[in-house]
Amino acid sequence: MWLIYIIGFVVSLGLALGLTPLVKRFAIKTGTVDVPNARKVHTKVMPRLGGLGIYLAFIVAFFIVFPFIPDAFSVREANFVKAFLVGGTMILLLGALDDRFDLSAKLKFLVQIATACVVVFGFDIKLEFANIPFHSYSSVESWIAIPFTILWIVGVTNAINLIDGLDGLAAGVSAIAIGTIAVMAFLMGNNVVALLCLLLLGSIIGFLYFNFHPAKIFMGDSGALFLGFSLALLSLLGFKQIAIVSFLTPLILIGVPLSDTLFAIVRRWVQKKPIFSPDKGHLHHCLRELGFSHRQTVLIIYGIAAFFGVLAIIQSSAAMYNANWVTFVVICIMVFFLQIGAEVIGLIGKTKRPLLDFFARLRMKANAERGSK
């Protein structure tokens, strides 16, 4: 089986390297390009159908290695794979059409809901078990599981779009998250999820060769939505088959886009702006304002994503042995560093620094006490 994993990764990587230039030419020929504006970092027209290259490399590699998989899929695994392929194709088509025609947000949202319903009702893919920290495993009633699963798929599908603001950023963060899921899948013995992750990982890395700064092609909504959908299924539904992963783990996996979104909501609420209004206060914007270069900013966010990935692996391993104290420690570490990082970078605002101000007051108090002695 290990040979299949290696071959699948190498094949998908090679296909992405070969197909992405062809997709670039196709995007330019069909006018599927991204025009710069005041909110965007790039200054020239760029092809933006790169997600098609990722998808084609993944799907072709899958059908190449599929006949060589030694063990037959169980019914549940087969349903998961079918749901992944059908839903991923629907989302890819939606993103590709949006790249070309700039579809309305309402239409995209409706199609995403429809895709999630196909996954849930067509293939019976939904959350079945939950392990809430400090609580035993329990089955989830359908009236809760179905809407939760649909909400999860739609929400995470859109999450990658929120950080797709710099060359190579969204693709790299997705690769780190998917690589993390692959590690957890190996630890849990989930060969199907591990194989899908490695095929996707090879496709993304091959695409990154053309997407890292200075980018020659953007992934566009076709890539952001497809990778978001992939993360939604792989981070949660792929593990419900063995029911040993805490609800917290998939949230940590998408920690970068999730925290960026939460801080954006808080920032706009504090500044009394509409929650969905665009701004230049996202993580990558703030890092650029601090003086970091384009590449340095992307690499810093890669490091943050890797940090979340390590926490997710620790958390999922702890969940396997019901080590709830580890879950508590992971939550505390994550919240602390999120808050400190947000205040240092200025994600909420340049003057909103309650934790740093608290530490500064403690330091001043300590210095005053030392001076009085």
Could you give the CA distance from residue 271 to residue 121 in angstroms, rounded to a whole number? 41
Residue 323: the pLDDT is 59
Q: Sorting pLDDT into bands at 50, 70 and 90, what band is 61?
A: very high
Per-residue confidence (pLDDT) for residue 296, from 0 to 100: 93
DSSP alpha helix (H) spans, 31-104: 50-65, 75-101
Q: Where are the domains of the chain?
A: 2-372
Element at 129 (helix H, strand E): strand 129-130
**What are the tens digits of pLDDT across the range 265-284?**
777 787 777 766 666 767 87
Specify burial of residue 358 (Cβ count, 10 A radius: 0-12, 13-18, 19+).
Answer: exposed
In a 3-state reduction of DSSP, which class is residue 140? Answer: coil
The residue assigned the tokens 């094949």 is 11
Give the tokens for residue 58: 């993944």
Residue 262: CB atoms within 10 Å = 13
Q: Is the N-terminal amide bond of 21 cis, ω within 30° of 0?
A: no
Q: What is the pTM of this model?
A: 0.85
- For residue 119, the 8-state DSSP code is I
The whole-number pLDDT of residue 130 equals 54
Q: What is the mean pLDDT of residues 137-147?
A: 71
* Model confidence pLDDT, tens digit, residues 328-354: 787 788 788 878 887 887 766 667 777
Query: Rounded distance, CA 167 to CA 43, Å?
Result: 12
Burial of 103 (0-12, 13-18, 19+ CB in 10 A): middle
User: In whole angstroms, how large is the CA radius of gyration of the chain?
Assistant: 21
Q: How many helices (H) and strands (E) does the chain have?
A: 15, 4
The pair of structure tokens assigned to 266 is 């808080």
Phi, psi (deg, nearest 5) at residue 126? -160, 165
Burial 110-120 (b: 16+ CB within 10 A, else e): ebbeebbbebb
pLDDT, tens only, 159-184: 888 788 789 999 999 999 999 989 88
The pLDDT of residue 56 is 98
Residue 103, H or E segment: none
Cβ(141)–Cβ(271) below 8 Å: no
pLDDT of the residue at 215: 93
Cα 185 → chain centroid: 17
Burial zone of 129 (CB within 10 Å; 0-12 exposed, 13-18 middle, 19+ buried): middle
- Mean pLDDT, the chain, as a whole number? 83
